[in-house]
Amino acid sequence: MNSPRVISAIIGQTVKESIRAKWLIMFTVVYFLVTINVPFLILIIERLLPPSTLNSYLVYLGTISYPFLPLLSLPLGALSIVEEKESGTLQYLLSNPISRMQFLAGRFFGLMISTSLVLLAGYGIAAVVAFNVRYSVLQGLGFIIGLSLGLNVIMLSVALVISTMCRRKVTALSVAIFMWFLLVLVSDFGGSFGAILAVANGTKIALIAALLNPIESAGLISEIHLNAYGAELAMTGEIIENSFGASNGLWIMGVSLFLWGALGVGLMIILFKYVDLV
């Protein structure tokens, strides 16, 4: 069996390339800065906020970081295959004793490792530096990181679908950015739900839109899990809690995320296997 050897070679090359390209370090810094939230940190250090505020901060962290996460994985993933199509390296690689699935697995897991490292390092360093990592915080932060990693997998699979279908880098990047814009716009973060709620059956539409949006689903899971309340629980969060209750709401959003993951990975595999790549 040459599969593990071949896949590990592609994974290694993908991770090394991401380190060489410097984006891994750049995004780690971005996530570190998003996580430590300097003004908030100063208020805590000056004891101007009660200790319970930390939980509110974690809710905020999930809400603020999930919409930005696809900005890491969507463009990187969307460029990864189409870049190799344009340069000709994909054709050369596939002319070697390597199957399409081995290449895809290597590239997917390589990107997953690279981007997960960014999230772990960004959040992790901030946790150590800013919050002095207490168990309770670690638990909450761990949940946010875990959810981020899940969302990252979904976004990578969507990005690789885009990369497989596009023939030019600029097209792939445009589609990826548009996809991000669409997902963020149709969410509480983008402010669309306020408008949706004003129309007839707005509650149902907002609920369906939230279920169809993995970023929104991830944000809702994190809010409900971290017992957000009042203003912390955004509009769709309140709808979910009132309609289904917190526990059922978690399940529904979890299933939504799982289906996104299954659909993304499934589509990525099918397309990469059957589409003419070069």
Partner 1 sequence: MLEVKNVSKRFGKFQALKDVSFTVPNNGRALLLGPNGAGKSTMIKAVMGVHRFAGEIIVDGINVSRKGVQARERIGYVPQYSAFYETLTVDQESKFIAKIKGASKDAIQEKLAIVGLTDATKKTMKALSGGMRQRFALAMALLTNPPMLIFDEPLANIDLKGQLDFMGLARNLARGGHTLLIATHLTGMSEFADQVIVLNRGRKIAEGTPDVLLAQLDPDQTIYLRPKAGHEKEVSEILARYNAKIINDQSLTMVVSIPNSRKFTLLNSLFSNGGVLDDIAIEPSKIEAAYTKFLEEKAPA
Residue placing its CB nearer to partner 1 in the complex, 251 or 274: 274
Binding of residue 93 to partner 1 (CB under 8 A): yes
Binding of residue 92 to partner 1 (CB under 8 A): yes
Binding of residue 277 to partner 1 (CB under 8 A): yes
Distance separating alpha carbons of residues 73 and 70, to the nearest angstrom: 5
Q: Residues 206, 108: contact at Cβ < 8 Å?
A: no
* Consecutive H or E run containing 217: helix 214-225
- What are the structure tokens assigned to 270, written together? 């099918």
Segment 130 to 159, residues that bind partner 1, using CB under 8 A: none
**Which amino acid type is present at position 110?**
G
Residue placing its CB nearer to partner 1 in the complex, 255 or 278: 278
Q: Which of 46, 135, 230, 276 binds partner 1 (CB under 8 A)?
A: 276
Residue placing its CB nearer to partner 1 in the complex, 95 or 132: 95
Is 105 in a helix, a strand, or coil? helix
Contacts of 82 (CB under 8 A, 6+ apart): 163, 166, 167, 168, 169, 171, 172
- Taking CA atoms, 19 is separated from 16, 93, 171, in Å, by 5, 21, 25
Binding of residue 88 to partner 1 (CB under 8 A): yes
Binding of residue 6 to partner 1 (CB under 8 A): yes
Using the contact rule CB under 8 A, the part of the chain among 91-99, 117-125, 176-184, 215-223 near partner 1 is 91-99
Q: Residues 200, 24: contact at Cβ < 8 Å?
A: no
Binding of residue 97 to partner 1 (CB under 8 A): yes
Using the contact rule CB under 8 A, the part of the chain among 83-91, 115-123, 142-150, 256-264 near partner 1 is 83-91
Applying CB under 8 A, which residues contact partner 1? 2, 5-6, 8-10, 13, 17, 20, 87-89, 91-99, 102, 274, 276-278
